[in-house]
Amino acid sequence: MELIKENIYLIRNKKIFSSNTYIFKNKVNDECIIIDPGFDTELIDQEIQENKLHPIAVVSTHGHFDHIGSAAFLKNKYHIPFYLHEGDMKISQSANFYLKVAQLDHKIETPKPDFLFKGEIDHLTLNGIDLEIYNLPGHSPGSCIIKIENNLFSGDIFYKNGLGAGSVPKENTELLKRSILKIFDIFVDEDLVLPGHGASEYLGAIKSNNAELKNFLV
């Protein structure tokens, strides 16, 4: 487990499909929120146990299989709620179908959300941790940025280098362009982007240096 900032941990999932799982820890106690748990269920749980963390919720930026792979296990083991945007409810419940389409020999327990975010902007406070949820569709209908303090958990909207655009279920490139331009308007350059794959980077640096993103927006 890698420490990204004082209270943000990164677990790089390598089982089946590479992705990032983040753990945001409360600064005053050991409570934490698990964001986008991937396929490495045992590794994620091991890191929680070894670091004596106390999970209080699972939140996914969107419903694709590599972002909900361990959600059901964690929800059930720690008796905590799972949060997802309503726009990705159908995608999340079809995760095993899409795994088969992607020719990945793996199945997950499909997690049932306890709470669904609705609309363009939602707010949530979990034991003193404030989350702002922005629905920014394109990569999927329910793709969101989860903002906690000046940290943007961005899923697969874009990366430090490159773009989340590709042949994925329910993707809409025109919506994605509009959402990315909206991100540039809503958030500031000093916000740290923590994507679903690859390294984190400040938003201003991504805007300046991500050539693929620039070309996509032309």
CATH of the domain at 209: 3.60.15.10
- Averages of pLDDT over each 10 residues, the chain, 218 residues: 92 83 95 95 94 97 92 96 96 86 84 94 95 96 96 95 71 92 97 96 96 91
Cα 190 from Cα 28, distance rounded (Å):
24
pLDDT of residue 103: 82
pLDDT of residue 34: 98
φ, ψ (nearest 5 deg) of residue 19: -160, 170
pLDDT of residue 163: 82
Cα 141 from Cα 144, distance rounded (Å):
9
Contacts of 39 (CB under 8 A, 6+ apart): 13, 15, 16, 17, 19, 66, 69, 70, 106, 108
DSSP label of 86: G
Number of domains in the chain: 1
Domain of residue 161: give its range. 2-217
Using an 8 Å Cβ cutoff, are 179 and 140 in contact? no
